[in-house]
């Protein structure tokens, strides 16, 4: 994953999101687990849930744009189900 982060200029926050779904190995990862990864170094556990979700959505949008054409993607698996890593999406 480090090669992807370096090659595509992924920010630290985006890397934490990618890392959380990467560890899921294609299986759904609950949003709360992604939030935990995003703010693992924050002694207060991060901002309010509303701000956490907003920061996540913005970072995810930017991450998806950076990964376009790479064959790596992060997709929603349904309302309140979480997100998962998808590989081989270069044509999308």
| Res 92: pLDDT | 44
The arithmetic mean of pLDDT across residues 86-90, rounded, is 77
First-residue to last-residue Cα distance in the chain: 21
Q: Which residue has the higher pLDDT, 5 or 61?
A: 61
Cβ-based neighbours of 2, under 8 Å, separated by 6 or more? none
**In total, how many domains does the chain have?**
1
Q: Is 11 among the domain residues?
A: yes
- Give a yes or no: residue 17 inside a domain: yes
For 66, the domain range is 2-87
- Whether residue 1 is predicted with pLDDT greater than 90 in this model: the reply is no
**Cβ burial 14-41 (10 Å sphere, 16+ → b, else e):** bbbbbbbbbebeeebbebebbbebbbee
- The CATH number for 50's domain is 1.10.10.10
Does a structural domain hold residue 92?
Answer: no
**Overall pTM > 0.85:** yes
Per residue in 25-67, pLDDT (tens digit) is 999 999 999 999 999 999 988 899 899 999 999 999 999 999 9
Query: What is the DSSP code (8-state) at residue 2?
Result: H
């Amino acid at each position: 994953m480090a090669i992807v982060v370096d090659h595509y200029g992924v920010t630290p926050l985006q890397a934490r999101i990618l890392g959380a779904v990467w560890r899921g190995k294609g299986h759904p990862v609950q949003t709360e687990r992604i939030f935990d990864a995003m703010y693992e170094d924050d002694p207060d556990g991060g901002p309010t849930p509303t701000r956490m979700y907003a920061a996540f959505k913005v970072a995810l949008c930017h991450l998806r744009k950076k990964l376009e054409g790479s064959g790596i993607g992060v997709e929603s698996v349904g309302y309140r189900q979480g997100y998962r890593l998808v590989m081989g999406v270069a044509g999308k």
